Chain A
Amino acid sequence: MADAESLFALHRQGVFRYLCRVVGQPETARDLTQEVFLRVTRAGVPQSADAAGRRAWVFSIARNLVLNHQRDGLRRGGEALPLADSAQPPTQELAVAIRRAIDALPEVDRDVFLLRESAGLSYDEIAAACGLSLEAVRARLKRAREALRASLDGPVSRARQGLVSLRGPDHGDDS
């Protein structure tokens, strides 16, 4: 039987990665991750759902939490994006460019993209977490990718010359 502790062990890193990508600040993402699992504990794990359903449920909580966090931030005057510093190595500018490109996506498209790429959710899980149909998930993901490819044309072209794999590079432990 799944409990809050096992969900925490299974999904903590994925939730943190997703939140980190959305809010852009690891410390804030850590706080929000803790809040997510506090809510999971308080709400009680839905035992009728299967593993994928419980995962989608956890990420729906994460998504709602970060949406509220961002709306509260906008009402308070917003969080400033890190400014590019020309004295910094190119990766800093690239990180800013990626962040801006992701932030420029429509909210739901951005969430679908990040749930897929940062949290590794399946299409079904994303649909459940965002309250979308499967076709809508596919369409939004495609739209987000096309928008990002257009925004990041230079970096994508350069990345295309390097190594790619379905597993991708090792980003290590973020949390």
Chain B
Amino acid sequence: MNHLDHANRDDRDNRDDVIAAFADGEPVGAPELDAALADPAGRAYLIDLLALRGLAGDASAWRLRDRAATLPRSASRSSGRRWMPAVAALLVVGVAGGYAIGRRAPEPSVDRAGDVESVAPALMLSAPAPTRVIQLEPGRDWTETGGR
């Protein structure tokens, strides 16, 4: 194998390594990914990896890693990382907002058995004022027609 063949093989290996890292959710440089995906052989390799994963792997494990990798919209755009700060900011706002809302809502008290025992007093509506008081005395007839 001559020098040119070695160089071509190295280029192919580097390209495939970038593609594999991208498919595996590992950090890759946007320019390197751009170049790798611009190569038809690189795209074919990516599809092969994903086809193999569909056959022999378990793609639900991909979701468990919580890596939101997406293909760039076009090979000419190397903006893969520009959206990350915006997404991170949205996540922070969402989590902070959810936390704040959760803090405002009173938490139910829980007894040792884990059952929800009562709702915090702040949420309990005050009972309406009684319109009529019926005094119960032992031995006295408390029905409408009896008693006072």
Binary contact track B16-59/A, C-beta < 8 Å → 1, others 0: 11001101111000000000000000000001111111111111
Digit string of A13-51 for contact with B (CB within 8 Å is 1, else 0)? Answer: 110010001000000000000000000000000000000
Q: When the two chains form the complex, which single residue of A98, A141, A166 contacts B50, counting CB atoms closer than 8 Å?
A: A166
**Shortest CB distance A167–B (Å):** 6
Q: Are A14 and B50 in contact (CB under 8 A)?
A: no
Interface residue B70 (Cβ < 8 Å from any Cβ of A): yes
Quote the shortest CB–CB distance from A70 to chain B (angstroms).
18
Interface residue? B74 (CB, 8 A)? no
| Contact between chains at B65 and A120 (CB < 8 Å) | yes
Interface string of A154-166 (1 = CB under 8 A from B): 0110011010111
Q: Which of A61-69, A76-84, A144-152 contacts B (4 or more CB under 8 A)?
A: A144-152
Min CB distance A94 to B, Å, is 8
Query: Is B63 a contact partner of A159 (Cβ separation < 8 A)?
Result: no
Residue of A113, A138, A145, A169 touching B54 (CB-CB under 8 A): A169
How far does the alpha carbon of A162 sit from the alpha carbon of B63 in the complex, in Å?
20
How many interface residues does A have (CB within 8 Å)? 38
Contact A122 to B55, CB < 8 A, known contacts A142-B17, A156-B48: no
With contacts A98-B55, A145-B49, A156-B48 taken as known, whether A166 is within 8 angstroms of B61 at the C-beta atoms is: no
Q: Is the beta-carbon distance between A118 and B25 smaller than 8 angstroms?
A: no
Chain B positions within 8 Å of A94 at CB level: 55
Cβ of A172: which chain B residues have Cβ within 8 Å of it? 60
22 pairs across A/B with beta carbons < 8 Å? A94-B55, A98-B55, A113-B56, A116-B57, A117-B61, A118-B57, A118-B58, A122-B26, A142-B20, A145-B20, A148-B56, A149-B52, A159-B51, A160-B51, A164-B50, A164-B54, A165-B50, A168-B59, A168-B62, A171-B58, A171-B60, A172-B60
Please name all residues of chain B whose beta carbon is closer than 8 Å to the beta carbon of A174 when the two chains form the complex: 58
**What is the bound-complex CA distance between A53 and B54, given in angstroms?**
27
CB distance from A171 to the nearest CB of B (A): 5
Q: Does the CB pair B25–A122 fall under 8 Å?
A: yes
Measured CA separation A96–B143 after assembly (Å): 81
Q: Is A132 an interface residue (CB 8 A)?
A: no
Closest to B24 in A: A116
B65:A160 contact, CB within 8 angstroms: no
A119 CB within 8 Å of chain B: yes
Q: How far is the CB of A48 from chain B (nearest CB, A)?
A: 23
Docked pose: A94 CA to B54 CA in angstroms? 12
Q: Are A117 and B57 in contact (CB under 8 A)?
A: yes
Closest to B20 in A: A142
